[in-house]
Amino acid sequence: MNDHKEIFENHWNLRSEAYDLLSEEDIQDILRYTKQKLIELKNYISTVKENNRTMECLYFYKDHVDLLLSYHQSKFDGYPGTYMYI
């Protein structure tokens, strides 16, 4: 990542600037949409049969979905950097 630090910082800065242009209503719409999609993904993952081949991959996605959903439990204050990074 250090090799492309400038590219990453430029991308991050552009996203941060765009965040400031969004209205509160737009932000809440995005949060509702992402939460709904995470719930759908969690439900889908729970239907996949686990076996030795899929177990590790499924746990990876389950953990990330649960982690992202945990961010929806509290109010987002400011740019949700960690959420976006994950």
Tokens of 15: 């996203």
For the segment 6-14, the average pLDDT, to the nearest whole number, is 72
Indicate yes or no: pTM above 0.75.
no
- The string of pLDDT tens digits covering residues 44-84 is 999 988 888 888 888 899 999 999 998 888 776 666 667 76
- Residue closest to 66 by CA, chosen among 85, 38, 47, 44: 38
- The string of pLDDT tens digits covering residues 74-84 is 776 666 667 76
